[in-house]
Structure 1
């Protein structure tokens, strides 16, 4: 599990195309400090598993390799990446760590498109399109993950083509991909998993109530 606090901007070193998958080599000196074969690292919000074909217990050279299956390539923007592109990197939160952001699984729900950027003196507003199927999970002042970054929704537009706006502080602009992604760029979106669980549980409870057989009134139940 992640919290959406980016540890470093990494770089795509190489991409190998495989049948129904791809193998990415990523440079990230910080996130590979304690990474081993089988470890998880979020790349632009997608949880990937480190693979080391050499069989060594520890990674060397500040790089790691991960296999990306077709499902992840289709559902996320990882398929848009090319060698030399910068990416947001985060290791999973340790059990005794603090939640700097919010609960992030690294399971991308869909992608949005940067629609516009409005600079201000001390921050910048970025407006992003939102797939209609995900709009019900997003609320103003709630949390959303954009390219692996935990952000607060500062404005929300509902309707046939929903979108949302986030306010980025200088640190986020300098240390993540949202500092340089321009209108037209695709970004990975992960909505709050608590909202999805709540919807399913409430829907199931309602279905049970609707299908429940009526209780026959007897002397014992009066």
Structure 2
């Protein structure tokens, strides 16, 4: 579990493919403070650390499963790209953003950037029910607040610090980003959908026949 507060901008140093895995090597200053098996958010996707290199160049290594490759933007990464990194939340840590699971729901396309302060992102219409005006949303692992909800897009307002401390400062229209809907919004949407489905009646033709009707 994460908070959506990016700790560091890592730099992609190695990309390779082995069997059905995408292997990523990402330079990060905290490589000596984590170990294999730890969960780390990379652009909003929760990945399991497979090994670290702490000698000449502190590096984190991850093996990314095909399902994650298909549902995120990680396959689009190139060597020297910067990525948002966050270590998993520990008991007692401050929850500075909002609860982020690291399970990417979909990807979105940046449609509009206004003075690098307001960004509009389009996503599939089927995901819009999980977005709430003034609610939380994670974009590439960054905890943001929905400023406005439209038919098939939403906007977020970005403060200067976030632009400097995350990859959003490099984004342009047409770029793809990972989207994780707010957990509370998703559950509320699912509950509303379930409530709208009529309960299946237990009275069947066989039931009536067995009871003499």
Report whether the alignment pairs 1:93 with 2:93: no
TM-score by length of 2: 0.88
Report whether the alignment pairs 1:175 with 2:161: no
Q: What residue in structure 2 maps to residue 149 of structure 1?
A: 142
Q: Secondary structure at the match of 1:172?
A: helix
Q: Secondary structure at the match of 2:9?
A: strand
Q: What residue in structure 1 maps to residue 10 of structure 2?
A: 10
| 1:52-107 superposed Cα distances (whole Å, 9 cap, x missing partner) | 2xxxxx75142110000111111000000011100000001111011111110000
Q: Which among 79, 83, 86 is matched to residue 79 of structure 2?
A: 83
Q: Secondary structure at the match of 1:211?
A: coil
Q: What residue in structure 1 maps to residue 19 of structure 2?
A: 19
In the TM superposition, residue 139 of structure 1 has moved relative to its aligned partner by 1.4
Q: What residue in structure 1 maps to residue 66 of structure 2?
A: 70
Q: Secondary structure at the match of 2:199?
A: helix
In the TM superposition, residue 168 of structure 1 has moved relative to its aligned partner by 0.5
Q: What residue in structure 1 maps to residue 36 of structure 2?
A: 37
Aligned length: 201
Matches within 5 A, 1:90-169: 90-119=86-115, 124-158=117-151, 162-169=152-159
Q: What residue in structure 1 maps to residue 208 of structure 2?
A: none
Alpha-carbon distance in structure 2 between the residues aligned to 1:41 and 1:59: 15
Q: What residue in structure 1 maps to residue 45 of structure 2?
A: 46
Alpha-carbon distance in structure 1 between the residues aligned to 2:96 and 2:134: 16
TM-score by length of 1: 0.85
Q: Which runs of no fewer than 5 residues in structure 1 stay unpaired?
A: 53-57, 215-222
In the TM superposition, residue 169 of structure 1 has moved relative to its aligned partner by 0.4
Q: Mark the CA change 1:212 to 1:204 in structure 2 (over 3 Å): closer, same or farther.
A: farther
| 1:170-212 superposed Cα distances (whole Å, 9 cap, x missing partner) | 11000100011111110000001222223334544555x6225
Q: Which among 175, 187, 194 is matched to residue 184 of structure 2?
A: 194
Q: Which runs of no fewer than 5 residues in structure 2 stay unpaired?
A: 204-213
Contact 2:15–2:78 (Cα < 8 Å) also in 1: yes
